[in-house]
Amino acid sequence: MVPLKGTSKPALLSLSMAPITIRPYQPTDAASLTRLFRDSVRRIAAPDYTASQLRAWAPDLIDEQKFGHRCGSKATWVAEVEGRIAGFSDLEPDGHIDMLYVHPDFQRRGVARALLRHVEDRLEPLDLRRLYAEASITALPAFEAVGFRVVVPQTTTVRGETMTNYRIEKRLEAPADLSPSTL
């Protein structure tokens, strides 16, 4: 595997997978990301949540303009594979990852891992030493695979439906001090 370092560098994550390109969110992505969000929740999380929980989490009607504003109001990145949107993630200024979603057609192909590495690569200028999120039952293994740990399981209520997710975090090493006094 080749780690992502730039916003347009592809990462070849396996011989059978085309390169994954990570780029910044654009307002024209709003409709596609809204659909990807709904499809990902409804199809991928179905084994872990009830139908009514899934409808509460990703309702039939999602305001694309509001969803686009949510993406555009913070650093959000889109993963593409062969020109198709494969997933997206974001990063709030305090290290919170609010969204990590992968299109159902691109599950288990390294897209979530590539997005999380990309997010982590953006932390140094922000001087952050911790990433954190609330992960669904379904997404938890993807986060754990890149070093996140469960802080606490929790119950949350969304549109009247109660469901389980996990507060998770990843502590990051401080850069090595290379000042002359430490050499």
Q: What CATH number is given to the structural domain containing 47?
A: 3.40.630.30
Mean pLDDT of 36-40: 97
Q: Residues 102-154: pLDDT tens digits? A: 999 999 999 999 999 999 988 877 788 899 999 999 999 999 999 999 999 99
Give domain status of residue 89, yes or no. yes
Give domain status of residue 4, yes or no. no
Q: Which two tokens stand for residue 61?
A: 């009607």
Q: Is the pLDDT assigned to residue 180 strictly greater than 80?
A: no
Q: In what order do the strands lie in the sheet with 161-171?
A: 96-97, 130-136, 161-171, 149-158
Domain count, the chain: 1
SS3 of the chain: helix, strand, coil, percent, to 5: 30, 30, 40
Mean pLDDT of 75-98: 96
- For residue 128, what pLDDT is reported? 85
Give domain status of residue 150, yes or no. yes
Give domain status of residue 71, yes or no. yes
Q: Is the pLDDT assigned to residue 31 strictly greater than 50?
A: yes
- For residue 14, what pLDDT is reported? 43
Domain that holds residue 154: 20-172
- For residue 176, what pLDDT is reported? 54
Q: Is the pLDDT assigned to residue 15 strictly greater than 90?
A: no
Whose tokens are 């401080």? That residue is 174
Mean pLDDT of 11-36: 83
Mean pLDDT of 141-168: 97
Q: How many CB atoms lie within 10 A of CB 33?
A: 23
- For residue 127, what pLDDT is reported? 81
Length of the chain: 183
Mean pLDDT of 87-113: 96
